Amino acid sequence: MELLQNDLFLRAARGEKTERVPVWMMRQAGRILAEYRAVREKAGSFIQLATTPELAAEVTIQPVDLLGVDAAIIFSDILVVPEAMGLPYEMEEKRGPVFPNVVKTTADIDALRIADPETDLGYVLEAIKIVKRDLNGRVPLIGFAGAPFTIFCYMVEGRGSKTFSVAKKALYADPEFSHKLLQKITDSTIAYLKAQIAVGANLVQIFDSWAGILSPEQYREYSLPYIKQICDAVTEAPVTVFAKGAFFARQEIGQLSCSVVGLDWNMDAAESRVLIPNKTLQGNLDPCVLYAPYDQIRKEVRKMIDTFGTQHYIANLGHGVYPDTDPDKVRCFIDTVKEYSSNL
């Protein structure tokens, strides 16, 4: 068992008693920090940064040093999985990820491989090893992957979208194709998450970023069963499931064999406690609160903690921190969580 100087995050994830509420943020290693931007410039591109283990490790650790968060999350991208399966992507400035080729037919699925983490994603595993060495037990490290449906969206659509209508069309028009691709993504994701844990990730988070575009019925068919497979298979470390927009599926997500359920800012905290009584909850401050004056941020954070309570709870935002957020406002959020919850 690894000895951690600060294990608050892991204890909360496991449902154990904590002296205060642990806090970290999605996208905490990113453009809010001038130090990150300097490393990103040195790397030359986002993909170069994500695939150079020493640089990815450096920006992973920055929020621990500069912001005082209770956990680090490996700097990577959910789209490394389709690339590892044989579908490379490019990152265009201002437009985000773009896949030059997309999956359209069953033959396209057959041409993909189930990713081998050691060979296809070795750079992520190497970055985790470096982070673990350099963190030296200060805080836990979170690994992650995209949920199969979210990855499916990009592989079929080829780019980000407000509606993902091309991907959703496939669910209605060709369920057999859809399930076949989702299963291949799931098999790759299970292997990848297990490999992250094997080299040092203390917890893994599944990001279902596009969960909210599905109807409840579609979510039950095309997303939940595949997330369930992952939760059932990954038993070596705690698992967090974060399904943005899937407010309708909270109760069902709460029945998965995960330890933590992440909530976005549209999910009411008190209602979520009733729907998910036996899990640790994570979230869910609106990232836009961090644009407010300091007193308002403190007020909103205190209100959030009052609603969630101080146990079985991990403070976070309801999605990733926005890149133009003032780092001092971010520190205000983190410090308020620590100070307020320590005194309750």
| Residues acting as catalytic residues | 27, 31, 40, 77, 154
**HEC string for 66-83:** HCCCCCEECCCCCCHHHH
DSSP conformation letters of 139-160:
S-EEEEEE-HHHHHHHHHHSB-
The pair of structure tokens assigned to 190 is 């299970």
Query: CA-CA distance, 248 to 318, in Å (whole number)?
Result: 16
> 280 forms bridges with which residues in the sheet?
260
Give the whole-angstrom CA distance, residue 262 versus residue 285: 11
Task: Quote the CA–CA distance of 121 and 79 in Å, as a whole number.
Answer: 11
Q: Is the peptide bond before 266 cis (omega within 30 degrees of 0)?
A: no
Distance between CA atoms of residues 161 and 152, nearest Å:
13
Residue position matching structure tokens 């069309």:
169
- Residue 260 DSSP label: E
Which residue from 174, 163, 74 is spatially nearest to 121, judged by alpha carbons? 74
DSSP three-state, residue 264: coil
Q: Give the H or E element holding residue 89.
A: none
